[in-house]
Amino acid sequence: MRQYVLPMLFSGLVGLTLCSPAAAQLKPIVLFSTSPMQELLADGEYVDELVSEQKQALWPQAPAFLQGIDLTKPIGGGIFTDAGGFAIKPIGFIPVSNFEQAVNRAGIFVGGAQDGTNGIKIVGPVHIKKQEGYAFLAQDEATLSELPTPEKVLGGFEQNYDLSLTVFLENLPPQLKMIGLGMLRQSIDESTKQLDDESDEQFKLRKEMTQQQLDSMTKTLEQLETISIGISIDQSNKQLMIDYMVKALPGTDMAEMYGQMATAKSRFSSMLHDDAVFSMNSAVEVNDPEQIEQTVLQIESGREEILAEIEESDKIQTDEDRQAFKELVREGSELFIAFIKQGSTDFAVTTLQASDKSFQTYGGVYCEEAREVEAYVKKLVKMEPTFRRYAKAEAEEEGREADFPEIDVNLDSETFSGATIHEISFPPSTKEKVREVVQALMGPDPKFYLAFAENGIWFASGSGVSDALKSLIKTTQSDEMKEVSPFQLTVKTAPVAERILYLDQFSEEEDADPEVTQKIMEQLPEDGGLVKITTKPAEGGLLYRTTASEEVVSFVAYVARTISEKMGEAMEEVGDEIEADDFDNF
């Protein structure tokens, strides 16, 4: 591999050093931007108030350090190339209301500003040129001979985000792509050598999967136009927003794939509730054979690794049990592969909170192999003795008592609307502490239900969820498919965190601290602490948006401070103990 990577590297670097015609238009490869400085400062002060115990004094004083800067415009910069893709130019730009004042202010920190040629100022290693209300920064004077127009290259990101970063893959010089892919191929060639403990089948699958990943990366470089991330502080709606955006080149396979996601439809849209503690749905058509093949290879590779571990495990007591585990893994992987090959994903799950703060969870998934999955579940149930023997052997090896959960499984407990329902419950013999934890999460009469029909699987957990499950089955069988977001996840952090902290009282860990738990409980978001992740179709691509309420930001910052303080106290105690030991030894 090295014999042709090194020539590519050499020729690519030579190409990048060539000078392009002076009239060539600069194009961004990587671009960073902020919102107008006065907005950025206001949002920074707002976030500081959310996350800090005491307001920092730097925000009111910030304008004094920014004398000469035009606070009504954004700051930006990035790596640019000319039209031919031959020259690489790092350039930054800062809006100025008084160029001399801004430069002299910056020069205070590096021994003053020096005069260069053609009106250029030199501050330390940075060359600065004034043009059209901006101070342009570069590493040398030659780079400043040709400059971008900020209003054109920023593309509106400065109006929508406090901070943004965009990678323009379309503008990446071919030489850099060639170098990157060549180095990647070399790395893959060196890593895809058969390992000593790797079977021929494992090696074959790993090599195929690695090649698929390389092909996928190559496709991404060739077909994606831009990748962007933007962060926005929305004070009016009291939330933090992070956007991740991908855009494909028109007419490419990836553009077609993103276009298909724009018309996502689901059978389970009725499950999505605004008052849910947790909800998630995904409805995606996958018609890309390469993507399906890559996922199948990953499943097959994982299967071979698990089979090898089963073969070597000394916790499996008999050859009959070993064979049973292998068959289980093979059948499970085949069902998973069949699910991937059906070419569509359509599922939803939602969790509601009852008056006693326990959770009721419902879900449904479209699956063409639903009845085969049902047979697989029944096989799992019949293998309970095998699982118990394995758990016992594992516990004995670790010197503890086997802790296999006590559950009652009632297969084929009921038939409703063509669906077979199976019930799982916790008998009186269940350990008291286990029962307390389960009841805290699922209510006084905790049960779990699985239902299977043609092309559909449903589940429900909690107390008194049987009727709601039947209603869900009926609704999803009769309702027409409705347009939904390709992916959406919503979490109310307050009720989830409250239950997690509540369960801390059952912890047997020595480092459990009730005082810290109580402090964190008192800081739970009063508004529920909403976090939402949504995928939205965009022109030629997709937008992945994450939003979090200001209450969530404050809560996470408080938890981080509390944990940090706790760790600091622990480190001080360890330090004191070490010093005491050293003194005793002395």
pLDDT reported for residue 21 = 39
- Determine contact, residues 91/139, Cβ cutoff 8 Å: no
- Determine contact, residues 351/278, Cβ cutoff 8 Å: yes
Most confident residue range from 196-205, 216-225, 300-309, 557-566: 300-309
Q: CA angle at residue 287 from 286 to 290, to 5 degrees? A: 95
Residue 362 has pLDDT above 90, yes or no: yes
- Cα separations in angstroms, 264 against 25, 276, 295: 40, 22, 21
pLDDT reported for residue 19 = 38
Q: What CA–CA distance (Å, rounded) separates 280 from 269?
A: 10
Averaged pLDDT for residues 247-271? 87
What's the helix, strand, coil split of the chain in %, to 5? 45, 25, 25
> pLDDT-derived band of residue 574, with 50, 70 and 90 as boundaries?
low
Q: What is the DSSP secondary-structure string of 212-237?
A: HHHHHHHHHHHHEEEEEEEEEEETTT
> pLDDT-derived band of residue 49, with 50, 70 and 90 as boundaries?
confident
Residue 256 has pLDDT above 70, yes or no: yes
H-helix or E-strand containing 531? strand 530-538
Averaged pLDDT for residues 84-88? 74
List Cβ neighbours of 91 (8 Å cut-off, separation of 6 or more). Answer: 26, 77, 78, 79, 80, 136, 137, 138, 143, 144, 147, 148
Calculate the average pLDDT of the chain: 84
More confident residue, 244 or 12: 244
pLDDT reported for residue 22 = 39
Averaged pLDDT for residues 215-227? 86
More confident residue, 486 or 19: 486
Distance of CA 554 to the CA centre of its chain: 21
* Three-state secondary structure string covering 72-129: CCCCEEEEEECCCCCCEEEEEEEEECCHHHHHHHHHHHHCCCEECCCCCEEECCEEEE
pLDDT reported for residue 427 = 85
Residue 575 has pLDDT above 50, yes or no: yes
Most confident residue range from 233-242, 403-412, 493-502, 574-583: 233-242
Percent of the chain with pLDDT over 90: 43
> pLDDT-derived band of residue 12, with 50, 70 and 90 as boundaries?
very low
Q: CA angle at residue 68 from 65 to 74, to 5 degrees? A: 90
> pLDDT-derived band of residue 228, with 50, 70 and 90 as boundaries?
very high
Residue 124 has pLDDT above 70, yes or no: yes
- The answer to which of 18-27, 122-131, 134-143, 526-535 has the lowest mean pLDDT is 18-27
> pLDDT-derived band of residue 16, with 50, 70 and 90 as boundaries?
very low
H-helix or E-strand containing 470? helix 466-478
pLDDT reported for residue 584 = 54
Residue 511 has pLDDT above 60, yes or no: no
Give the pLDDT confidence of 370-394 residue by residue, as tens digits: 999 999 999 999 999 899 888 888 8
- The answer to which of 169-173, 333-337, 482-486, 568-572 has the lowest mean pLDDT is 568-572
Give the pLDDT confidence of 422-468 residue by residue, as tens digits: 999 988 777 888 888 899 999 999 999 999 999 999 999 999 999 99
